[in-house]
Structure 1
Amino acid sequence: MFARPLPLFLSALLLAVAPPLAAGELRLQAPDDIDELLAPYLPEEAGNPLRLQATLSEILATEGYFSPNFEFKDSDNGLQLNLDPGPRTLIKNVALSLDGPLAASTREELQRDWRLPVGQPFRQEDWNEAKQQVLARLLAVEHADARLVDSEATIDVETHSARLSAHYDTGPRYRFGPLRVEGLQRHEPSLVDRYNRVVAVGQPYREESLNALRSTLQATPYFASVQTVLDREAAELNSDGTLTVPVVVRVRERAPHRVAFGAGASSNTGARVELNYHSSDLLGQAWELNSGLRLEQKKQTAYTDIFLPPDERFRRNSVGAMVETTDIAGLKTERYAFGAQTVQQRGSVEQRLSLNWQNELREPDGALPETSRALVPNAMWTWRRVDNLLDPRRGTVLQMQIGGGARAALSDKDFVRLHGRIQHYIPLGQHNTLTLRGEIGTTLADSRRHIPQDYLFRTGGASSVRGYAYQSLGVKEGAATVGGRYLGIASAEITHWLDEDWGIAAFIDAGDAFDSRQDVRLAVGYGLGARWRSPAGPIGVDLAYGERVRGFQLHFALAIPF
């Protein structure tokens, strides 16, 4: 009455007593779906037919075919197998038992969402996945000790039906207790509390909350490894029958000081070498110090930034200073800057509020030098709704910011700067992605004079208007290109992925920076590129033709949203 796969010893016995056929091609005659299923397991040449029958019977049984009919025909060209899989076994009955203090709504959801319902064909893989899905959902929410007690699939080969039963013990319902941090040597336990947004005392246990806390702590500069586990031995029984269990956070701290040296290249600013010093415990206060010297062909930068741990509102505050010189598109600049910033994540919106002061000396080729000073408060909001932050195929990233300076507050000029950009991803089938990008900006002032370049606009280069050199599009002043008061960019790109790692792209960009709305004349660039999915996100290499300059430019950069 019950069909089971032939045991291995029986297959071996058949192999021993059945004589092999003469060598030759093996051909299978079966329905298309069966042929596709068995093709990877068929030998190229005919051999022992009984051994082959035993092997194929086991494979067919995993797909719900328990009464196949095999007919072998020998010929001069080899062996032909005519295979009729027989009727497919269907699910006739499902008995799902859940013992333990399970919420009625959860019990109903698990019963309703069972992945192998009555009437569906029986498959061994589906049976295994259905059992695992129930267990995974129990373990993920409140029931950290849930287990599958037993399960059985009873197959009736005469009626081609299956009866399934699975029995679970949900275990107790857990609630989060206090955090207990182990492994700290330099830092205080309060440092972990400042990063904890998800594990709250008294809240129902959630596996994803423990995983989120671990990932958050692992991403900080303080810890080399993090584990989050429940201390079940210290659990306390509540009046409602739930258990409050402490959460143990085991950490291994990073070395407090780190020196790094790097080298690289950019199509925008040329070859680069960099020396960086990092400390995660400045003055013993868990302040993060990041300082370094970056030397590029077109830009040289010395910087120091100090980041504080999150405050009670999960804001990350920082201060920094920078000295920078550039020589780009005929414009030499030298600037000194320092400022303060606070960053806060609110759902899908990241907010950055900053106050920066800078002094800039600019020297355009063929024009008079000019000094500009500005104290600028600035607010920036970035909204992300994408399926993958590093390699999106669907969704939108939107960024808006506003800032400005005033003569009454340490600036040489009254101005207000507005800037916005958007990147939208549309999947086209399984292997293609359309990316639409737009950017617009304006600096409200009576002229561009005595406004630092950071608060004006230039464009051109990778991730901008391809086909033109980096920041070569803007306002002409002497032989140099300087920033203008207006910016407009539009771009469309389609990427076709050849496999999991490599893709090709075609794109068209249009944009310019200008000083008067009457001077709008967009520069157009278009071309082809290659994409490689690196661990840090897709790396793009593009060859673009710029219509205005009638020449080609090679660009390469990380092809990720801002």
Structure 2
Amino acid sequence: MPVQCKFLRRCLPLLLMLIAPITSAASAAIVLEGPDELVALMQPHLPDDPPAPQRLQAMLEEMLATEGYFSPTFEVSEAAGVRRVRIDPGPRTRVADVAVDIDGPVAGETRKSLIDGWRLPAGRPFRQQDWSEAKQQVLSGLLAVAHADARLVDSEASIDTEERQAHLTARYDAGPPYRFGALRTSGLYRYPDSLVERYNRAVEAGEPYREEKLAELQSALLATPYFSSARVTIDRDGAVPGEDGSRVVPVDVDVRERPAHRFGFGAGVSSNTGARVETSYHTPNLFNQAWVLDSGLRLEQKQQALYADINLPPDERNRRHAVGALIEKTDIQGLRTDRHALGVQTTQQRGSIEQRLSLNWERERLRPDGEEATTNKALVPNAQWTWRHVNNALDPRRGTVLQAQIGGGSKALLSDQNFVRLHGRWLQYIPLGERDSLAVRAEGGATLAPSRDGIPQDYLFRAGGTGSVRGYAYQSLGVDEGSATVGGRYLAVLSVEATHWISPTWGIAAFVDAGDAADRPGDLKPAVGYGLGVRWKSPAGPIGADLAYGQRDGGLHVHFALAIPF
């Protein structure tokens, strides 16, 4: 005879009573014997004090029923204070048929997709957890696509213990479809409502309600420099009838603004440029225009810089404009430089490709050790495209990152030399088993010009150091000029790195790098470096520390960096 699954309504409170801290004494008082997976399921939930045999058997029957075993038998024996219970669970009940009904104006494709995707189909073993998850999956699917008032009206699991079959029924009321109404913003004091609209690329008035669209807008606002918190919800009480029978619901955006001014001080060390101290000033509302100013003074052993960058909110085409200025001094590998630069840039996300268009002017004075000082100027338009397709932006194990750029200068337009600069990078992540990975990196560049004379170092190439060829000092691979190393017109770098994670947060890596920079393609003679490193998964991404041997020079170098894909 079919038995209505009333016990399922009693299981949850009973199991909650059973789930409690278990002492070693309790574990020794009751010992279960039977199928390993069932013993492992039930043993942790046994009570501290062994109950009467009939009560214990009832508890075990309830737990086995949640796994689809409705006809178990038990053999109980007791000796030396230990009660042993041998369990024969009997045959397992399987789902015989499923009837899922969704009432309401649900789109045909949506209805079919939800019913076809039912998680506990006929033929599967009946489990209480799977039954609950299957019902919730359909409800979540309705809530996510236009039906914000969807609810589970009725559900029943009818169990036939003789035939060992479960007959499942579930009925839902989808409720009316919702459409987005206007945005209503609160929490703004320094900024106009239009600032939120600038970052809204998800919620459009009149479009069907989608739960993920709210999350998308919320994430976009949290990623801005203006808000420390953001919450995006719909106001069901404020919904009004739409022309097509839907309900048009206002979208509430509640934000909290970041402080108007922030001063920062810091210190650190880089394996490329040495010890560093830095002070910075940041405001997200320069001239009360929601322009973001980032400025600072950075003092490193090999490099000093005074900089200021102004970033504007995105425009109606989601383009982000910026302007910046830089004064920089460097003393690297016998080459001292004084550089002044101004630039403007536009960044736009086009699908999975980030595009950056820029125009930069710079004046550079070079003083190589053993050579006369020279001055170079260039006005350079540049275009860069980056395509990222990785499983995790901060900690990738699988995927590809590609980057390509082209720029150049002309004597006719404020430059000392005619040149075209081409540069590309490729990074490939390959998973090895469950925890290990392989990373392959390649980089190449060419500056097409009659000679390198008159071209600023930013548009030539040097190699060596973290992120380039490990085992060699920072920018030590290039063209010899006097006793200094200067940039060449060609670059080639290849790296292979294998990482083994010995724990969820710590790993060890082995790598081989090879590369060089030269003034002619025929002069490229790859310098090989190889070594071992440690990796730590910090909240900001993997941090690496490497010990590398440079085969060309026969020296050891320590390198460390935050390993985030370019």
TM-score, normalised relative to structure 2 = 0.92
Out of 554, 559, 562, the position equivalent to 2:558 is 554
Partners of 2:135 and 2:346 in 1: how far apart? 47
The reply to whether residue 63 of structure 1 matches residue 63 of structure 2 is no
Task: Note the residue ranges of structure 1 that are not aligned, 5 or more in a row.
Answer: 12-20
The residue aligned with 2:536 is 532
1:395 corresponds to which letter in structure 2?
G
DSSP 3-state at the match of 1:463: coil
Out of 329, 333, 338, the position equivalent to 2:333 is 329
Tell me how many residue pairs correspond in the alignment.
553
Partners of 2:176 and 2:42 in 1: how far apart? 45
1:304 corresponds to which letter in structure 2?
A
Query: 8 Å contact 1:143–1:170 — kept in the other structure?
Result: yes
The reply to whether residue 490 of structure 1 matches residue 497 of structure 2 is no
State the shift of 1:409 in Å.
0.7
Out of 379, 390, 394, the position equivalent to 1:375 is 379
The 1:158/1:388 distance shift into structure 2, 3 A limit, reads: same
State the shift of 1:384 in Å.
0.9
Out of 194, 199, 211, the position equivalent to 1:195 is 199
The residue aligned with 1:366 is 370
DSSP 3-state at the match of 1:472: coil
The residue aligned with 2:219 is 215
DSSP 3-state at the match of 1:194: helix
Partners of 2:131 and 2:90 in 1: how far apart? 21
Partners of 1:531 and 1:379 in 2: how far apart? 33
Is the deviation greater in 171-180 or in 338-347? 171-180
Out of 98, 110, 123, the position equivalent to 2:114 is 110
1:308 corresponds to which letter in structure 2?
L
Q: How does 1:129-278 map to 2 (within 5 A)?
A: 129-278=133-282
The reply to whether residue 507 of structure 1 matches residue 511 of structure 2 is yes
DSSP 3-state at the match of 2:202: coil
Q: How does 1:344-493 map to 2 (within 5 A)?
A: 344-493=348-497
DSSP 3-state at the match of 1:70: strand
DSSP 3-state at the match of 1:144: coil
- 1:436-491 superposed Cα distances (whole Å, 9 cap, x missing partner): 11100011112112211110111111121111111111112222211111111111
DSSP 3-state at the match of 2:396: coil
Query: 8 Å contact 1:26–1:45 — kept in the other structure?
Result: no
State the shift of 1:46 in Å.
8.8
The 1:47/1:550 distance shift into structure 2, 3 A limit, reads: farther
Partners of 2:473 and 2:495 in 1: how far apart? 17
Query: 8 Å contact 2:11–2:62 — kept in the other structure?
Result: no
Query: 8 Å contact 1:502–1:531 — kept in the other structure?
Result: yes
DSSP 3-state at the match of 1:233: helix
Query: 8 Å contact 2:115–2:138 — kept in the other structure?
Result: no
2:67 corresponds to which letter in structure 1?
E
Task: Note the residue ranges of structure 2 that are not aligned, 5 or more in a row.
Answer: 16-24
Partners of 1:41 and 1:435 in 2: how far apart? 45
State the shift of 1:61 in Å.
2.3
- 1:395-440 superposed Cα distances (whole Å, 9 cap, x missing partner): 1110000001111111111111100001111112211111111100
DSSP 3-state at the match of 2:221: helix
State the shift of 1:62 in Å.
2.2
Partners of 1:350 and 1:162 in 2: how far apart? 53
Q: How does 1:19-98 map to 2 (within 5 A)?
A: 28-38=32-42, 40-41=44-45, 52-74=56-78, 80-98=84-102
The 1:526/1:123 distance shift into structure 2, 3 A limit, reads: same
Is the deviation greater in 314-323 or in 152-161? 152-161
The residue aligned with 1:305 is 309
The reply to whether residue 541 of structure 1 matches residue 529 of structure 2 is no
Partners of 2:528 and 2:303 in 1: how far apart? 26
Partners of 1:477 and 1:75 in 2: how far apart? 90
The 1:48/1:559 distance shift into structure 2, 3 A limit, reads: farther
1:315 corresponds to which letter in structure 2?
R
Partners of 2:376 and 2:562 in 1: how far apart? 32
State the shift of 1:178 in Å.
1.8
**What fraction of aligned residue pairs are identical, expressed as a percent?**
61
DSSP 3-state at the match of 1:221: coil
2:462 corresponds to which letter in structure 1?
R
State the shift of 1:27 in Å.
5.5
State the shift of 1:303 in Å.
0.4
The 1:387/1:361 distance shift into structure 2, 3 A limit, reads: same
Partners of 1:546 and 1:390 in 2: how far apart? 29
The residue aligned with 2:298 is 294
Is the deviation greater in 291-300 or in 243-252? 243-252
The residue aligned with 1:16 is none
Query: 8 Å contact 1:23–1:47 — kept in the other structure?
Result: no
